Amino acid sequence: MSKTKEIQDLLTVWQEVRWNTTEFINSLGGEGLKKELPRGGLNTFCKHFQEMLDVQSVYLNAIKTGEMHFEEMLEGYEGDETAESLLKRIEDLDSEYAEAINKAPANLKIKWADDEEKSLAYTISNLSVHEIFHVGQLIAFCYATKTQLPQPLVESWFLTPLDEE
Q: What is the pTM of this model?
A: 0.92
Please say if the pLDDT value at position 23 is more than 70: yes
Query: Residue 76 is part of which domain span?
Result: 5-164
Q: What is the pLDDT of residues 78-120, one digit of tens each?
A: 999 999 999 999 999 999 999 999 999 989 999 998 889 999 9
- The number of helices, as runs of H, and strands, as runs of E, in the chain is 5, 2
Tell me the sheet residues that pair with 109: 119
Question: Cβ neighbours of residue 98 under 8 Å, at least 6 residues apart?
Answer: 11
* Helix, strand or coil, per DSSP, at residue 119: strand
- Residue 80 DSSP symbol: -
**Which residues, listed in sequence order, are joined to residue 44 by a DSSP beta bridge?**
36
- On the question of pLDDT at 26 being above 80, the answer is yes
Confidence of residue 165 (pLDDT cuts 50, 70, 90): low
Interatomic CA distance for residues 103 and 147, integer angstroms: 40
The pLDDT value recorded for residue 52 is: 97
Going by the DSSP 8-state scheme, the letter that residue 78 receives in this structure is -
Residue 131, pLDDT above cutoff 80: yes
Phi-psi region of 99 (alpha: psi -120 to 50; beta: other; left: phi over 0): alpha
User: pLDDT-derived band of residue 121, with 50, 70 and 90 as boundaries?
Assistant: very high
Phi, psi of 158 (to 5 degrees): 55, 50
CATH number at residue 148: 1.20.120.450
pLDDT in the model for residue 114: 83
Residue-level pLDDT at 161? 86
Contact 151, 38 (CB under 8 A): no
Count of domains for the chain: 1
Q: What value does the mean pLDDT of the chain take? A: 93
d(CA 153, CA 130): 18
Does the structure show a pLDDT above 90 at 24? yes
pLDDT at 1: 40
Q: What is the DSSP letter of 150?
A: P
* Weakest-pLDDT range from 73-77, 145-149, 150-154: 73-77
| Contacting residues for 75 by C-beta, under 8 A, at least 6 apart | none
CA distance 94 to 99: 8
